[in-house]
Amino acid sequence: MVVGDFPIETDTIVIGAGPGGYVAAIRAAQLGQKVTIVEKEYVGGVCLNVGCIPSKALIATGHRYETAKHSDKFGITAENVKVDFTKVQEFKAGVVQKLTSGVEGLLKGNKVEIVRGEAFFVDSQSLKVMTEKSSQTYNFKNAIIATGSRPIELPAFKYSKRVLNSTGALNLAEVPQKIVVIGGGVIGIELGTAYANFGTQITILEGAEEILGVGFEKQMSALVKRSLKKKGAEIYTKAMAKGVEESENGVIVTAEIKGEEKKFEADYVFVMVGRRPNTDEMGLEQAGVKVSERGLIEIDKQCRTNVSNIYAIGDVTAGPQLAHKASYEAKIAAEAIAGHTSVIDYVGIPAVVFSDPELATVGYTEKDAEDAGIEVITAKFPYAGNGRALSLDSTDGFVKLVTNKEDGVVIGAQIAGANASDIISELGMAVEAGMTAEDIALTIHAHPTLGEMTMEAAEVALGSPIHVLK
């Protein structure tokens, strides 16, 4: 039976319930707006369901297995360490379920109406939410587009039983013996590392000169490359994947590497060459919203599109495709709708790779500063000089500060090493707050912790290090 379509009035309608959309909906509701959120697939979006969260659960279990097998130097040995991959997947699913149900509870607790279906703009003040059985019109004062992105599918590598995108890679029923990963970016490296820790033979094919080439310095990616090779991985750069032959039991991937054709046999091939914005097939042209050739929506400093009452956040806009970028923009958009003067400022936005070792960066790199004509002082402190890192047997890596030579203000930081994803938050706050190296050096850090290295690096920047020689 088709439900009658009588328009429903709402103040703000949010399209997409990922880390951008659900945050926007909650903040808008907190600011007194009547909010409707539309989701066509699952609350929590890609990040919570088939991205950030499940991949980290898989990475964590891979680390547990690797630790169980290789703790001899600690005086701990274990026999017949096995992986029950069904239980691994159950653990991962449990983490996802807790978070997604929690998000749904938060939306309902903030009196946000959750509507299932696909949204199509009718004009700049109304849209239809479609399901197989119904069509409902919503009239809105403001709309926030937060529809995220999807994996790019290569013409020569159509997704199938053995040609997988990140979603398929996360949901395998068993630990494969061999995998070819096309793309040495963040997603390819993270999932490649996760399976390498389970004992899978990994081959990475990257078209650029380096893995993790965008946003991470070569000295950082070099540590990851070395670690992967220790796990038995083969890494080919300047490698162009040409095609795949698929059989019932595996694949043969053909690639051109430095002018020579090579073939790689594997159980699966993971295609991880980037993501494209979900801005097609939602009627943006009906609303008058401008979209670039790449499918990105242009926004101003308040996440407003060229149509004054329609906003866009997250992967549908330019910039790094990061969940925390989407959440940050979500708050700006909701506050702008409420009449606040909030504007976006990306200087303190961190980026993290959950590789071995972890990588994290925030603000300017040394090269960024050089390109911007800023004279800087860089200061590094090695993990090998930190007591906590030694006790963890995690001595690969460093903390690096980039400070303005003129006034000592911290304008950037890079970390390669254990728990870099956690340590970077302090340095992100330092960049955001305009703190100096002296501010960090004068902050008493607990001992023994990995966090002490930020203080140590700050002392290096000031020219008065204690635990490394000048």
Alpha carbon 47 to chain centroid, angstroms:
8
- Asked whether residue 158 is marked as a ligand-binding residue, the answer is no
* Cα 81 to the center of its chain, rounded Å: 31
Q: What is the mean pLDDT of residues 44-64?
A: 96
Quick check: 223 pLDDT over 70?
Answer: yes
Q: What integer pLDDT is reported at residue 1 of this predicted model?
A: 40
Mean pLDDT of the chain: 96
**Homologous superfamily (CATH) for 8-151+276-346:** FAD/NAD(P)-binding domain (3.50.50.60)
Q: What is the pLDDT of residue 2?
A: 47
What is the rounded average pLDDT of the residues 161-178?
Answer: 97
DSSP 8-class letter at 346: G
The per-type count for the chain, helices as H runs and strands as E runs, is: 14, 22
Pairing of strands 268-271, 163-164: parallel
Please write the tens of the pLDDT for every residue from 115-153: 999 999 999 999 999 999 899 999 999 999 999 999 999
Marked catalytic residue, from 324, 340, 445, 447: 447
What average pLDDT does this structure show over 105-110? 98
Percent of the chain topping pLDDT 90? 97
- Check if the beta carbon of residue 320 is closer than 8 Å to that of residue 361: no
283 is in an annotated binding site: no
Is residue 148 a known part of a binding site? yes
Peptide bond just before 155 cis, omega within 30 deg? no
pLDDT for the residue numbered 213: 84
In the DSSP assignment, the letter for residue 291 is B
**What does the pLDDT average to over 437-464?**
98
* Beta strands in 73-209, from DSSP E residues, in sequence order: 113-116, 118-123, 126-130, 135-145, 149-151, 163-164, 178-182, 201-205
Closest of 159, 250, 152 to residue 203, by C-alpha: 250
* Residues 379, 360, 366: CA angle, nearest 5 degrees: 40
| 8-151+276-346 and 357-461 have identical folds | no
Please give the structure tokens belonging to residue 292: 């670039």
Label residue 283 exposed, middle or buried (CB < 10 Å: 0-12, 13-18, 19+).
Answer: middle
72's CB contacts (< 8 A; 6+ apart) are: none
Distance CA 337, CA 304 (A): 9
- Indicate the domain borders of the chain: 8-151+276-346, 163-273, 357-461
What is the C-alpha separation between 202 and 271, in angstroms, rounded? 13
Contact 50, 19 (CB under 8 A): no
Which fold would CATH assign to domain 357-461? Enolase-like; domain 1 (3.30.390)
417 is in an annotated binding site: no
Catalytic status, residue 467: no
Distance CA 50, CA 169 (A): 10
Tell me which CATH homologous superfamily contains domain 163-273.
FAD/NAD(P)-binding domain (3.50.50.60)
